[in-house]
Every structure is written in structure tokens, then in C-alpha cells.
Amino acid sequence: MNVFNFFNGAAKVYGIIGNPIEHSFSPVLQNSLLDFMGSNGVYVPFKVDENDIEEAIKGLFKLNFEGINVTVPHKKSVIKYLCGLDNTAQKVGAVNTLKRTNNGFVGYNTDIIGLEKSFNINKIDVSNKVAMLIGAGGAANAVAVLLAQMGASDIIFVNRTFDNAKKLKNKISSFYSGNVHITDFEEMYNYNKPYIVINATSVGMGNGVWESPVKKEEFFNGVEYAFDVIYIPWKTKFLSDAEKYGCKCINGFDMLIYQGIASYEIWHDITIDKKSAVDIKNVLSDFFLNGGGDK
Ligand code: NDP
């Protein structure tokens, strides 16, 4: 037997709530960060039913949890059980990170921080450019807020359910003065070439790995960047089609890693330096590409 001494009775406890939760990479990411940073802490996954969210949050607070990540489907519904929201979370209308305070948990949205970091690393500059955003769910909300904040001249929303796109458009319009358009999977090809096309739907992952939300792949001709928030598979059909037409292609892995690093920084009140962040990302991507992400 080995003596397990990664954490002891004084350990700070962190976790993630979602449903399903089995696929989540966050326990690997956050426990690796705790180890890398030499923190006495542990991070555990919890499957929480939508009807139990209030009790779960109260219980996690009573159990002295320092920080929680929140994933699908609780990112919006959890908000009413928090004692506060930071500005970005308020804008996005969804949280993925909770930090303990004396009065309860405060909500943050680090998806948008991870996304912005990924844009910066890949030198994506949408200011005064046309962006096409496919999807209107949780991830798309973060993308839309970032595109608006970065000053895109136009945002073209493409979504299966018109009402969801309309809600997102209305939300953005309250603080964004650029042009907004809503279209569907038939009409999207009639727009002039956008600078960037972003897939923020779940089309292309899970059982649909051979699917892309862009059915006419030649649409990518002349598009500069294709960005997919999905990271399993590493290269979706959306990205491999875009690559054939010379687009610069980025998947959701950097976004995933940097949203996790941002959560860690919020919980621990620290800034992880650039080099350490890159080292952490490289170790985790090696692990992930060698099958660790499927565990
Ligand atoms: P949501 O359930 O909130 O939204 C799903 C979106 O996909 C909706 O716009 C929905 O359209 C659309 N959609 C689903 N199925 C179809 C379909 N068959 N055809 C067309 N559109 C469809 O999910 P999230 O936004 O939370 O997650 C979306 C993706 O983003 C997931 O793959 C997730 O793993 C990834 N993600 C990645 C992150 C990262 O760090 N890289 C962070 C968060 C999410 P409709 O409105 O019509 O239902």
C-alpha cells in the first residue's frame, strides 16, 4: 500500500456540479492544478438533479466548500441561490464558478475568460469584423458577449430554435451597438463571408461526430477563422471541413483549460504566471490526446 498524502484534514474542498458529470475533465484539470501549485486541497465531481439544486448549494455551503464549478444544466438555474454575481456573469446571465464568502457563494463566469484567452493566443481580433455565431445556448452566450465586448461590427446568429437566438440577440443589444442578424441553417449561406465562424452548438460531439452545423462546406472558402467550442473530438467535422478551405482552425481545448485556470485563480486569489499556465496546458493536452480525456 502507498501512503496517500496529497491532502490531509486541513484540506480545502472544491467540486463541480452538473448532470451528467461523468464526462467532465474538470476533476483532472483542477486536481492537477492543486498538485502543481502545492495546495492542500481536493476537487470532486457531483451529479446533481435539477430539482435538487437549491439543497445542493445550501449543503455545499454548510460543508465548507471553498469553490464550486457549475456545468450543464445548472449554469443559469443556480443563480437564484447565490449571494452575488460579478459583472461579467451578470452580462452573460450564466455562471460556471462559485466562490465562498461569509454570506454565501458569489457567481463568476470564467468561460468567457477562457474564450478570450483562446482568442488572444490565436491572434483572433474581431474588432470591426463580421462574426457568425452558430448556437444560442450557454456557450454561445459567452461567445456573444465576448464578440460584442471586442467590438465586432456584425454578429450573425444562426440557431435551430429562433426564439433562443432572439433572446440572445436582445440580451446583447442592451449593451452592443453593432449590427445583429438572426438567420437559420438554410439562409446562413446567403451572408457575405464572415471573418470568423464559431460553432457553439453541441453538433459534432458525442453520437454526432460525423456531423457539422455547416452543411455546405464550401461556405468556408474565404473565411479566415473557424472556432469550435467542442474539444471531444479534438478535430470536429466542422474544423476538418474548414481546414480544407484554408481556414485557421481552433478547438475548445484552450478555452477549457483557461476557464479552469481562471476558476482556480478566483478561488485562491492568485495569478498563475504565463509560463506556468502554458506548462500546465501542455501537460494536460498530452494526457488528453493520449486518451486521458475519455476517462
Ligand atoms: P446548451 O444545451 O446550452 O446549448 C446547445 C446549443 O446547441 C443550442 O444552441 C442548441 O440549439 C444547439 N443544438 C443542439 N443540438 C442541435 C442540433 N441537432 N442541431 C442544431 N443545433 C443544435 O449547451 P452548451 O452551450 O452548454 O454547450 C454547447 C457545446 O459547447 C457543447 O459541446 C459543450 O461541450 C461545449 N462547451 C465547451 C466549453 C469549453 O470550455 N470549450 C465550455 C462550455 C461548453 P437550440 O437552441 O435550438 O436548442
Confidence at residue 261, expressed as pLDDT on a 0 to 100 scale: 98
Active-site residue, from 47, 58, 75, 123: 75
**All residues at 6 or more sequence positions from 240 whose CB lies less than 8 Å from its CB, including other chains:** none
Shared domain check, 135 and 244: yes
Span 15-33, pLDDT tens digits: 999 999 998 999 999 999 9
- What is the spatial distance between Cα 237 and Cα 204, in angstroms, rounded to a whole number? 7
- Asked whether residue 2 is domain-assigned, the answer is no
The predicted-structure confidence for 163-201, as pLDDT tens digits, reads as follows 999 999 999 998 999 999 999 999 999 999 999 999 999
Which amino acid, residue 80? Answer: K
CATH code for position 188: 3.40.50.720
Closest ligand 1 atom, residue 253 Cα: 41
**In angstroms, what is the span from residue 200 Cα to ligand 1's centroid?**
6
Side chain identity at 109, as an amino acid letter?
A: N
Report the nearest-CA residue for atom 40 of ligand 1: 256
Flag whether pLDDT at 207 surpasses 80.
no
- Please state the pTM of the whole predicted model: 0.94
240, part of any domain: yes
Residue 58 lies in a domain: yes
User: Does 7 map to a domain?
Assistant: no
Cα 57 to averaged position of ligand 1 atoms, centre (Å): 24
Do 174 and 74 belong to one domain? no
Same-domain check for residues 215 and 149 = yes
| Residue partners of 167: CB distance under 8 A and separation at least 6 | 136
Report whether residue 252 contacts ligand 1, using a CB cutoff of 6 Å: yes
Domain count, the chain: 2
Residues 150 and 247 placed together within one structural domain of the fold:
yes
For atom 18 of ligand 1, which residue has the closest CA?
203
User: pLDDT (tens digit, 9 = 90+) per residue, 130-159?
Assistant: 999 999 998 999 999 999 999 999 999 999
Dihedral sign (CA 264, 266, 268, 274): positive
Residue 79 near residue 107 (C-beta atoms within 8 A): yes
Tell me the C-alpha distance between 38 and 284, whole Å: 17
Which residues have a Cβ under 8 Å from the Cβ of 117 and sit 6 or more positions away?
A: 254, 255, 258, 262
The band of 294, judged by pLDDT with boundaries at 50, 70 and 90, is: low
124 φ, ψ to 5°? -85, 120
Mean pLDDT of the chain: 95
Please tell me whether residues 153 and 104 are part of one structural domain. no
pLDDT at 8: 92
DSSP 3-state of 14: strand
Query: 119-131 pLDDT, tens per residue?
Result: 999 999 999 999 9
- Residue 139 Cα to ligand 1 middle (Å): 7
Atom of ligand 1 nearest to the CA of 211: 18
Residues 158 and 242 in one domain: yes
Would you say residue 231 lies in a domain? yes
Expressed in angstroms and rounded, the spacing between residue 1 Cα and the centre of ligand 1 is 44
Answer yes or no: do 45 and 118 share one domain. no
In a shared domain, residues 35 and 48 = yes
Cβ–ligand 1 distance for 201 under 6 Å, the answer yes
Ligand 1 atom at minimal distance to the Cα of residue 251:
41
* Cell output for 178: 453593432
Range of the domain at 133: 113-251
Any catalytic annotation for residue 75?
Answer: yes
